[in-house]
Structure 1
Amino acid sequence: MTFVSYGLPYFRRLPGGLTGDLVGTHLPRLLADPTRSVLDEAVPAPTDVHPDNPTVTKKRFTVPVRIETNDLLFTVRSDRAAVIQDVLAWFDGNGTLAGRPTPPPAFAGLLTITSSRHMFTQVGLPRSVAEQNQLPYARFIQPDSPMWMGFSDQQVNASGPPEICTFAGHPSARLSTARPGDYLDNGSIQHLSHVILDMLQFYDMAAPGTPPSDNGNFTKRVQYMFHAPPVHPGNPDQLTDGGGPSFLPAENRGPDYAERTARGIGLPRGERRMGHLSTLQRSSRASDGTPMHLRVDGPGFDPMDTPDGSSQPKLHFSVFVPTADFFARMRRSQASVDLVRKHRVAEQDNGLERFLTCTRRQNFLIPPRRHRAFPLVELAD
């Protein structure tokens, strides 16, 4: 399966650019603000390392985020790694596909590959990669999880129906001026970012050879990921093999739950804490509770952007959303800096933010399949 998405630089190359009739006529606008289009460039998140956030640093990976300027994004997915490798080699000009002679795409002089990111999704694979590379926290990773942090993404009840992520919308929500039959009606926004995961800090290990503290216990980690107080007590051994289950319900607690726990409501006396899922739910769902995003990401393990060139656990994050503005709001909700300041929530009690270093971001527009090859070009004079 291959997705083809287009960044703002592509649309700037079209006749008239972003403000011309060609793009301006066909690019949907925001219903809430018709002066803005569905495609804005990505912006640094409130907890990204960036000059806009002068007080933000990370414990191990203080790498500034950069907003990339790619024209196109190809997302190639398969259950078999050999299929993906075959397609990438064909893109690179080897002249064969599925073992048959196939002329490669005529990219010479047209496209330059700027980067390639390799994600993997398989139950237990992060644990296997950690063991193969003798990572100091390998035995703490949940062996049944497809994700580095040990909890499985609950795609069944935490992802929206495909239509709600499109410009034309869904009965539960519609955020743009697009209507069925418009050129880009079933298009969507694809956000892509590259995230280094500080797994030593996730298990609260001061150094590779030191044991985790109590803040690395399952009962703390499950709160950072989901909601506070803990949605599951975990095992008597809170660390080995993750210290608890990988599969847990991604309950919708509503848009106000993060502020409740930031105030300490429902938590032991004196504790104030927000879970990652709690903060996302401030803005990630329609008014009837329907999720408004579809994730297409996965873990990785590579040296891209690491300060010392070492391979580190990664999240190659990618998601389909109805507008770029929606993603920016959802990412601000995830950081919840406003609630941190308002209710004096400690950095160590604000979801996953301190474990994540995003080094690259960009927004793309993925057109409907019928227009996925160089959209709008056929309409140019």
Structure 2
Amino acid sequence: MKGALVQRHVPRLRSDLNRLALEEAVPSPTDVSPSNPGITKQTFTIPVVIEHNDMLLTLRSDVLAHTDDVLDWLLKGSNRLNGRAIGSPDFRGLFRVTSNRVMFQKIGLPRKVADANHLAFASRVNHQSPMWMGFADQQTDGSGPPAITTFQGNSSARLTTARPGDYLADGAIQHLSHVIQDLDQFYSVPDEPFTERVQYAFRSDPIPSIGNKDQFKNGGGPAFLKNLFLGTNDAFKNAAGINTFEGKHRMGHLPALQRSSRAADGTPIHIRMDGPGFDSLDIPNKSNQPKLQFTVFVPTADFFTRMRRNQASLDLVKAHGVASDDNGLERFITATRRQNFLVPPRSHRSFPLLELSRDHH
């Protein structure tokens, strides 16, 4: 990161030419961390670790056995691929796996996993949702075009000094985090009916839906709600209790993010690629727990840091007396790992900058 080659080719922030688009991840304001004294969680008070992995490998398939097959061949020396004898590559110790995180994504699959594992809250998970918390991520409304997430950006937003033709012009930053979801608390009866959960995830001005008569069965309301952008000031209105459901001071996850997640013309400046998980990674008693295997493509590390800080919106929460129980999703999630990765453009995806090194032969 501090070498001359990296300093010369990684774009810089247009807002601060002394900073690179690639920076180390930092704890968010509601992560358990020495930098956040006083932050605890009801169930999973686990400090976040800022990781220092050299590479992130993502394998995707509709069949888990296929990804396992590729991993065994690529990194475990199985010498077999798709049932055929094919020699595994000999990396000679180049790679050491630090974690393996399985993410699944399908309409209704979290509910099926909850049922199969006899989780106490299973009947309260919406049977149509692809996510643990019962709502579908509306990527068509909440994600930007690919170009806006790159270093050179597009006509809606350009956050770095990258220009067309630069070595990393079409590169991006990928943030990866491992998040435990406290769903026993999120689906608590009678404390957390649908009307509460939908305000945590969306907003209160107005509440997107008041749900069903039975506020808990199958989620208690619809899984599919529009991801509306009501302006960067919407979080303030929620916190100030302006036209909110029941007149309360609230903070919704969505308007909090939208304080900085979109360009001036309303275009999202990120693309998410995350989904649910269910495993024992970082769980003290080694039990399997619902996870969010979070990952997102953004044009700068600083952009994600600001967006995640706004997700917590502790400034508005404090200024307007929002109860900690009404601050979005923050009390239900524990991030245990974070890292930012450089995503080089396809033309330089493997060993970026190597051919420009003086030591390259």
TM-score, shorter chain, exceeding 0.5: yes
What is the match of residue 190 of structure 1?
174
Output aligned runs, 1:143-158, within 5 Å. Answer: 143-158=127-142
What is the match of residue 214 of structure 2?
237
Q: Is residue 2:32 matched to residue 1:40?
A: no
What is the match of residue 248 of structure 2?
271
Contact kept, 8 Å, 2:239 with 2:250, in 1: the verdict is yes
What is the match of residue 187 of structure 2?
203
CA positional deviation for 1:79: 2.1
Give me the whole-angstrom Cα distance separating, in 2, the residues matched to 1:178 and 1:270. Answer: 46
What is the match of residue 88 of structure 1?
71
- The Cα RMSD (Å) is 1.1
Sort the Cα spacing of 1:269 and 1:138 in 2 relative to 1 into closer, same or farther, 3 A: closer
Unpaired runs of 5+ in structure 1? 1-17, 205-211
Name which of structure 1's ranges 76-85 and 52-61 shifts more when overlaid on structure 2. 76-85
What is the match of residue 361 of structure 1?
338
What is the match of residue 198 of structure 2?
222
Provide the secondary structure at the position in 1 that maps to 2:20. coil
Give me the whole-angstrom Cα distance separating, in 1, the residues matched to 2:292 and 2:44. Answer: 14
Contact kept, 8 Å, 2:263 with 2:269, in 1: the verdict is yes
Give me the whole-angstrom Cα distance separating, in 2, the residues matched to 1:100 and 1:168. Answer: 43
Output aligned runs, 1:258-337, within 5 Å. Answer: 258-268=235-245, 271-337=248-314
What is the match of residue 105 of structure 2?
121
Give me the whole-angstrom Cα distance separating, in 2, the residues matched to 1:20 and 1:217. Answer: 53
What is the CA deviation profile of residues 160-188 of structure 1, one whole-angstrom value per residue up to 9, with x for unaligned ones? 00000000101100001111111111111
Output aligned runs, 1:50-69, within 5 Å. Answer: 50-69=33-52
Give me the whole-angstrom Cα distance separating, in 1, the residues matched to 2:194 and 2:42. Answer: 21
What is the match of residue 316 of structure 2?
339
Give me the whole-angstrom Cα distance separating, in 2, the residues matched to 1:267 and 1:379. Answer: 56
Code of the aligned partner of 1:118: V
Code of the aligned partner of 1:236: K
CA positional deviation for 1:253: 1.3
CA positional deviation for 1:307: 1.9
What is the CA deviation profile of residues 245-282 of structure 1, one whole-angstrom value per residue up to 9, with x for unaligned ones? 11110111111001111000002565100110010000
Provide the secondary structure at the position in 2 that maps to 1:286. coil
Give me the whole-angstrom Cα distance separating, in 1, the residues matched to 2:3 and 2:71. Answer: 35
Contact kept, 8 Å, 2:207 with 2:244, in 1: the verdict is no
CA positional deviation for 1:125: 0.8
What is the CA deviation profile of residues 21-51 of structure 1, one whole-angstrom value per residue up to 9, with x for unaligned ones? 3111111111111110010000000000001
CA positional deviation for 1:108: 2.5
What is the match of residue 13 of structure 1?
none
Q: Is residue 2:71 matched to residue 1:100?
A: no
Provide the secondary structure at the position in 1 that maps to 2:231. coil
What is the CA deviation profile of residues 290-327 of structure 1, one whole-angstrom value per residue up to 9, with x for unaligned ones? 00000011100001111211110000000000000000
Contact kept, 8 Å, 2:235 with 2:252, in 1: the verdict is yes
CA positional deviation for 1:93: 1.4
Give me the whole-angstrom Cα distance separating, in 1, the residues matched to 2:6 and 2:84. Answer: 39
User: Percent identity at matched positions?
Assistant: 59
Give me the whole-angstrom Cα distance separating, in 1, the residues matched to 2:123 and 2:152. Answer: 46
Give me the whole-angstrom Cα distance separating, in 2, the residues matched to 1:155 and 1:107. Answer: 37
Aligned residue pairs, count: 356
Give me the whole-angstrom Cα distance separating, in 2, the residues matched to 1:252 and 1:78. Answer: 32
Q: Is residue 2:4 matched to residue 1:21?
A: yes
Give me the whole-angstrom Cα distance separating, in 1, the residues matched to 2:85 and 2:350. Answer: 23
Unpaired runs of 5+ in structure 2? none
CA positional deviation for 1:84: 1.1
Sort the Cα spacing of 1:85 and 1:251 in 2 relative to 1 into closer, same or farther, 3 A: same
Contact kept, 8 Å, 1:220 with 1:230, in 2: the verdict is no
Code of the aligned partner of 1:174: R
What is the match of residue 175 of structure 1?
159
Provide the secondary structure at the position in 2 that maps to 1:36. strand
Code of the aligned partner of 1:273: R
Give me the whole-angstrom Cα distance separating, in 2, the residues matched to 1:98 and 1:162. Answer: 32
Code of the aligned partner of 2:5: L
Code of the aligned partner of 1:316: Q
Give me the whole-angstrom Cα distance separating, in 1, the residues matched to 2:95 and 2:335. Answer: 26
What is the CA deviation profile of residues 90-142 of structure 1, one whole-angstrom value per residue up to 9, with x for unaligned ones? 12211222333333232222111111000100111111111111100000000
Give me the whole-angstrom Cα distance separating, in 1, the residues matched to 2:272 and 2:328. Answer: 19
